[in-house]
Each structure stands twice: as C-alpha cells, then as structure tokens.
Structure 1
C-alpha cells in the first residue's frame, strides 16, 4: 500500500507501507479516490502548527469508497463517502451541548493523528458520511472545506441585497464568495495580491474585486475574514457598518482590536471553527447538488499522487486554486 509520510517539516515521501488489517467493530476501510491539499496541510508541512506531531501521514479532505466494513459499521462496502477529519468524543461538556466542533478531546487527521493520504485507510464509521450518487467526485471532494464556510455563514443573516466583503481570496475565501453570492449578497472580494483577485474573476460575473486601499472608507453589512493576518482582522473591523457583523474564519495568534469602535458601532464579532457534523455536511451537500451553484472553478488541478512534490509546490505558490491529489490506481503507477 502506498502512502505519503511527512517525517518532519519539509521532509515528505511517497512510500510503500504495510497492508492494513481489516476493520473491526464500527470501523470501515476506505479506498481513497481524491484528497485535497489545504492551507492546514501546508502549515503542517512547514512546521507551522504547534500541536502537530511527526511523523504523520497528511491529508484530511478525503473522498473514497468503503471496501471493507466491521460488524458494527454504519455503512456497507461499495458506499462512496466523505470523511469527517476532526474527531469528537461525544461525552465531554462541549459535545453534550451539541458543540462537537470544539470537543475538548478533539483530534485532527493529518495533524496530530495519521491522515488519509494513502491508497487505503481505516476509520470509525462515526466519522464518514455517504455521498449522493448525483454528486460527482470533483465536487464531493470539496464537502469538507466548503462545510467550514457553510458553518461560518450560518452565524449571520445574508439575503438578497446584503453587502458582504470577503477578505482573503484563498480557497476558503473563494468558497465564501460563492456562497454569499448564491444567497443573494452583493459581494466584494478583497486581497492584497492582484493575481488572487484575477482568479476570483474566474468564479463568475457580478463579483467586485478590490485591493484594500480601494475600499478604504466603505462599510459592509457583513465582513468575512478569511486571510488570517493581524492587519486583515484590524482592517476588516473598520469595514463593518454600524450594527453589522464580522465572521473570522482565518486564524492568527493575536491582533489589536479597536474596542471603542466595536462598542460604539455595536459590531458583532464571530469566531468560527470547522463545522457541526453531520448537519453542516448535509447542508453543504445540498448546496453542491444544486446545479445552479457553480463551485467547479475553485479546483485548479487534479494531479496523480505520484506528482505530490509538484502538487505541494503549486499549492504553496498561491498561483492556483484547490489542488487535488488523485489516489486511484492508474494515477499511482
């Protein structure tokens, strides 16, 4: 069985690993179809996450087919599934309150436990969800990253005519742009890199793009912060209209907040981390199944796993959208 292994930061290899034992209990064995590379994978590769452990098999945006099932598994062989890469215990106070996304005992695939960038992997069937037959692989692989945005945008009211600014036009930012527009918003995409704004234009018409200096003095009903930098948070708050809200998806360690401005303008700040499972996954699937929702431009390349070095280089460059690794048999040879 071939797998990717990140031995330590900046040192990754595609290697032959031992065959996995069969699943037991509620476990399923999954044959991977596609795996998406995201910003978290890049941070782990560079050693940028303090809670990451090494060596680790990367990968958490995972789509595959069940090929074996334990006697207590929820789904049977032949079922195409998407994976929930963040475990939850179900018993801590956060889980009992329905907030499984902030479980006190959460573990994350590809970060502090082995991920799924391998031909096959085994996981509890609690953490997989069937994919409808009418959802193609190329859209289904986006369920996990898109669920992050679906969860975040539930925190605010977006409808026809709502003015929305999305700061940061990486893949999560692009997904936020598409969803906000789909919900009826008038969207302005903001980034410091002109080449990323050019990529946004490929998402479709009626999306305004702007450098930060070009929106200075403007305000918006909702601001989605997806860049994860000190300046983007500080500047983003100034873009929120009185009584408006900002949702923070991007992560930075700390930032200086203009507290007086927030208080006097009665601005609401929301932090948002991952998603509720299965509700946000199910909602995400329904969006993706809608033929009027065109998410395909978010994916730039689907590359064989054997070309993982080039795939990671492309992802690091910032010149592409989502990079997908293809783990099907013919892509490995």
Structure 2
C-alpha cells in the first residue's frame, strides 16, 4: 500500500492509503520524488470535476471514480523492462501526456494532439503519490547536476516552451506578453531561449512583474487605465508583431487584438473560465492570425526544458516551496484564489 492524494470532487481531496500501481510492459515504475500542481488542478479543486474522470469513465483510460492527480512529476526508476530505455536507480522527468505513435497527428510530430492522447494525473492516476507507473516513451533522464526541486519544474516549462514555439517568434520582433504568472513566466523563458526579441510584459504591479524583469523582459507595464497607451508607446503605435495572452482573464483576447499590428499574430495560452466574445471584425479586417497551444510535445520540449533549468536561474525564481502531500488541499486553495505567486512541489516521502 502507498500514500496518495485522491480527488473526489470540488474542495474534496483526501490523503489515503491505496494499492501500489501495477507496472505494465513498456512502463517504468517510479518512486515519486517531486510532484507539482497547476491551474488545471486548481480549477478542478474550485469548481470540478471537468477534466478529471470523476465519476467517469474516461473514454480512453477507462478510469472511474476518485483519482490521484499530479501530471508534473519526477521520480526514481524502481522497475523497468529488461533491455528498455531506463535502468533501476535512474532519475527521470515525466511528460505525463501519453500518445499512440501511430495516428496521423503522431506521424506529423504533433503527439500532443494524438487521437488516443491521455494524461497521467488528468485522465487517470498520476503523480501525487509515493509511486506511479508511466510509459517509458514519456520519460527523459534528468541531467546530472540539476537538483530535484528544479527538475520538478520541467513539465510546466516544457508546456511554456511548446507555447513559445507555437507563437512563431523570430529574432528582432516586438512581443507583448499579457500575464506574468507561472505559465506566463515559463512562456517568457521559452521565447527568450528561441529568439532575440523586444519583450513587453503586462500584469498587475507587484512581484510577478518584478520577476519578469529579472527573467529578461525588456520592460514591464502595470495594469491601469493607461496600460494600452503605455504598451503602444513602447512597441509603436502600429502595434506589436506578436501578442501572447497568458492570463486567461476575461476580455484579454480582445485586448491582445488591440495591441497587435495589422497582419500580426496572437497566441492564446490562457483559458478563460467562461465563454468570451471576440472582435471578429477586427481580426478579419486586419488579417490577424490567432494561434492556440496545448500541453507540449514530449520529444521536442522536455529535454530543452531540463537544460534551461540547468543553465539559468528560472527555477529559483519560480519555486515557492516543497511540501508534504498532506498540505495539497491548502495549496490548491491558494492557487485557486490567486494567492500563490510561484510553483509549489510536493515530496510524498515527507
């Protein structure tokens, strides 16, 4: 038996003893060393279930009933297939999203859009537990010299790096980033790793904007009645080449439309909690491209994310704390209410 957090419904996460996971062929059984939470987990805590298959069943995994969350985790390999990719004792990071490798999207390299895609910790039991079994194809080795605490941020950074790739950002462009929370910061780091850009970051005055400057923003603009004018004064009255909307706040896609140049590109990262109206007339008449982004491509994004964490101060800027699983509910509440500025990780051994 192992200790695990189990989600039963909104505001109902319990720490329980449950059976150890069964390792199937092609999987590695991991001792979980660090497991993180994100905005999706907070939404499920606050107003779910939406994504979690509770009561279920999930159409691909078949999972029904209480579920172990946690799709951001690293672990130590305890068991693996003989002759497989990993050996007992290796420290690995999980991408958590599982793809078939055979469908048309997978053959295109867009494994995050696999027709059979599912995610550990979102659609079936995940890493908020002492042990988890994960398909080997969704694991990569953690590089020597990278601490467990920083390696635990690799999956959400991979998501940010994928978003940066989806933005199409290129050297010399002007970019506006709306939202400097955790995901916005990961997207910022991803864009800075891909191109030399002039980057303006918009958010409420406070620690998030201060952090954005330290992470490489060219300038910051606090939200107030003069925000749009201040942004356009910085990037030029015609607007920015690209605008990334990473806040998910109501009305921000239309705000992005007002800040991008004719023929420019908007990347929508944030997920609003309610249906939004969009200025289609402006999109069409100004030939603005709108892109979206989902999860990450494990084979393309997870290794580079680990390297960024190894070679920069990003992890130290974003890591809030490492806590025992018993404190998951209180931290989900902090995240759901906007009281958490950085990333919290959990160590099931504590």
Question: Are 1:211 and 2:232 an aligned pair?
Answer: no
Match of 1:321 in 2: 341
Please say if 1:284 is aligned against 2:305: yes
Within the alignment, does 1:122 sit opposite 2:122 as a pair? no
1:246 to 253, 258, 266: 266
1:133-148 maps to which residues of 2 (within 5 A)?
Answer: 133-148=144-159
**Aligned partners of 1:205 and 1:98: how far apart in 2?**
31
Per the TM alignment, residue 254 of structure 1 is displaced from its structure 2 partner at its CA by 4.1
| Change beyond 3 A, Cα 1:194–1:325 | closer
Q: SS of 2:261's equivalent?
A: strand
User: In structure 1, how many angstroms separate the alpha carbons of the residues matched to 2:86 and 2:5?
Assistant: 26
Aligned to 1:304: 324
Question: Cα–Cα, structure 1 residues 114 and 308, in superposed 2: closer, same or farther, change >3 Å?
Answer: same
Contact 1:226 1:250 in 2 (8 A): yes
Give the direction of change, closer, same or farther, for the CA distance of 1:129–1:88 in structure 2 (3 Å limit). same
For structure 1, list consecutive stretches of 5 or more residues without a partner in the other structure.
none
Match of 1:258 in 2: 279
Q: How many residues align?
A: 328
Q: Could you tell me which residue of structure 2 aligns to residue 38 of structure 1?
A: 38
2:122: which partner in 1?
111
Q: Is the 8 A contact 1:82 1:128 kept in 2?
A: yes
Q: Please tell me whether the aligned partners of residues 180 and 187 of structure 1 are also in contact (alpha carbons under 8 angstroms).
A: no
- 1:161 Cα offset (Å): 4.3
Q: How does 1:45-194 map to 2 (within 5 A)?
A: 45-48=45-48, 50-54=50-54, 55-71=66-82, 73-159=84-170, 161-182=172-193, 183-192=195-204
Aligned-residue offset at 1:160: 5.1
CA RMSD, aligned part only?
A: 2.4
The aligned counterpart of 2:29 is: 29
1 CA distance for matches of 2:338 and 2:213? 16
Q: CA deviation at 1:49?
A: 5.2
**Gap runs ≥5 in structure 2:** 55-65, 233-238
The equivalent position to 1:272 in structure 2, one of 290, 293, 301, is: 293
Runs of 4 or more consecutive aligned structure 1 residues displaced over 4 Å after TM superposition: 192-196, 198-206
| SS of residue in 1 equivalent to 2:119 | coil
> What whole-Å deviation, never above 9, does each CA across 1:142-193 have from its counterpart, x for those lacking one?
1111111211211344355432211122210112233334543222222357
Per-residue displacement from partner, 1:83-120 (whole Å, max 9, x unpaired)? 12221122223223322111122112222211110011
Whether the aligned pair in 2 keeps the contact of 1:33 and 1:328 (CA below 8 Å) is yes
Q: 1:327–1:205: structure 2 CA closer, same or farther, 3 Å change rule?
A: same
Do 1:308 and 1:325's aligned partners in 2 also have CA atoms closer than 8 Å?
Answer: no
For residue 37 of structure 1, report the CA deviation from its aligned partner. Answer: 1.2
Q: Is the 8 A contact 2:10 2:46 kept in 1?
A: yes
Give the TM-score normalised by structure 1: 0.88
Q: Cα offset for 1:140?
A: 1.4
Q: Offset at 1:194?
A: 5.2
1:10-21 aligned at under 5 Å gives the runs 10-21=11-22
2:235 corresponds in structure 1 to none
CA contact (8 A) 1:26 1:74 kept: no
Deviation at 1:306, TM superposition (A): 2.8
